[in-house]
A = this chain, B = another copy of it.
């Protein structure tokens, strides 16, 4: 009965393998995840929450309301006793893409929804949370998978709230900050030059990719299947600001040799000279970077972030390497981290959710640092079968002209990250936390 909400909620529609294991914990998870969303809005004024900086982004208030609409429409309306909508008009206003629910407000005009105001949206959240807690306390059957889906959906929107507010604030000439930086972002000095990256090798042959095991996954991660790979190597860490700056200084943005033809046309038309949030200081000074903590000088050892696919690909070609395929990335990640998620060692990402990507700290930055562009066009896995009914209606609707990203970012909730997760965006998208890791053939 669910349909997708893309690009807000790209790959939600089908939850295939979520098991009952974690469902005894659903009331607690519900509380924690809903509260985390609300905390993301705390540093913001009502005006900050209302504005929309581009059609691809949504206002924070809209995210707050839409994630609530999801539970009201798909769970409460069908399972709650004596259901009454909080406000019938919200059915249209906060619908994202679900045609079956009826009309929806045009996406590029979400920033014009000054009504309801932020206070009303917060009361909407309170009301729906109250009704949900009652329902969850009942323990009736049938809606667990839907609630789990709603929580996964909400976690996707948590990341989008951060990327969208970052984009909005970046449009202000003063580059205001979202939240002050906490002190001590790691045990390594981000101002150091990064150590040279080494290569992790894989001998190729028959491998398995796709989601395995019991946890939740989206339908596009299944079925797990066999592939034959050639021998390859992945860089041990992400490409750093220092390395990317060398590309910029080498005239990387001025030389069509490094670029895909379509990427070159795009770069030329927009006159791009650097990643999205870089700018030179006053009087052509040193490069600065806009972060959720405001402007800061470029830190050499940090992973470069906010690249399009075209830029990531151009950098890779300039450096004599290439982007990895998503299968290469996944089998290498499966070696290093448990398939089910980053585990406790990555728990620190949750606290860092609003920090800038951590400095290159010597670990492999596979999960939770920046999304890593792969060379793989987003497509169905072999044997992919859309779910029956409306849940599957939009499966695969977005499987064209988009490229897969892997690994999650510092803005992704830690428990939402896993090695089989497939994020995807068009080759021009830059406002997500997107970077790259190099690959090469072994022979």
Taking Cβ atoms with an 8 Å cutoff, the residues of A that contact B are: 6, 45-51, 53, 61, 89, 92-93, 99, 105, 109, 111-115, 117-118, 168, 171-174, 176, 206, 225-230, 256-257, 259-263, 309-310, 313, 322, 375-377, 379-380, 382-383, 385, 393-394, 396-401, 427, 441, 443
Q: Which residue of B lies closest to A428 (CB)?
A: B401
* A6 adjacent to B261 (CB under 8 Å): yes
* A441 adjacent to B176 (CB under 8 Å): no
* A109 adjacent to B261 (CB under 8 Å): no
> Known contacts A115-B172, A173-B89: does B382 contact A441 (CB below 8 Å)?
yes
Chain B residues with CB under 8 Å of A173's CB are: 89, 92-93, 105
* A51 adjacent to B441 (CB under 8 Å): no
Q: From residue A97, how far is it (CB to closest CB) to chain B in Å?
A: 8
A385, B440: Cα distance in complex, Å: 11
A89, B397: Cα distance in complex, Å: 45
Tell me which of A48, A173, A375, A396 has the highest count of chain B C-beta atoms within 10 A of its own C-beta: A173
* B50 adjacent to A51 (CB under 8 Å): yes
> Known contacts A92-B173, A113-B172, A227-B228: does B118 contact A401 (CB below 8 Å)?
no
* A114 adjacent to B441 (CB under 8 Å): no
Q: Which residue of B lies closest to A377 (CB)?
A: B377
Q: From residue A326, how far is it (CB to closest CB) to chain B in Å?
A: 12
A49, B115: Cα distance in complex, Å: 12
Q: Which residue of B lies closest to A403 (CB)?
A: B400
Chain B residues with CB under 8 Å of A93's CB are: 173
* B441 adjacent to A112 (CB under 8 Å): no
A191, B107: Cα distance in complex, Å: 38
Give 8 pairs: A residue, B residue, CB < 8 Å, sorted on A: A47-B49, A50-B114, A51-B112, A53-B112, A227-B228, A261-B397, A262-B400, A383-B441
* A117 adjacent to B47 (CB under 8 Å): yes
Chain B residues with CB under 8 Å of A176's CB are: 115
Q: Which residue of B lies closest to A260 (CB)?
A: B400
Q: From residue A411, how far is it (CB to closest CB) to chain B in Å?
A: 20
A133, B99: Cα distance in complex, Å: 58
* B206 adjacent to A228 (CB under 8 Å): yes
Chain B residues with CB under 8 Å of A227's CB are: 227-228
Q: A50-B51, A261-B397 are in contact. List 16 more A-B contacts (CB 8 A).
A: A47-B118, A48-B114, A50-B50, A51-B112, A51-B114, A112-B171, A114-B172, A115-B172, A115-B176, A226-B228, A262-B398, A263-B400, A309-B400, A310-B400, A377-B379, A383-B443
Q: Which residue of B lies closest to A54 (CB)?
A: B112
A129, B61: Cα distance in complex, Å: 34
Q: From residue A131, how far is it (CB to closest CB) to chain B in Å?
A: 24
* A172 adjacent to B46 (CB under 8 Å): no
* A230 adjacent to B382 (CB under 8 Å): yes
Q: From residue A184, how far is it (CB to closest CB) to chain B in Å?
A: 28
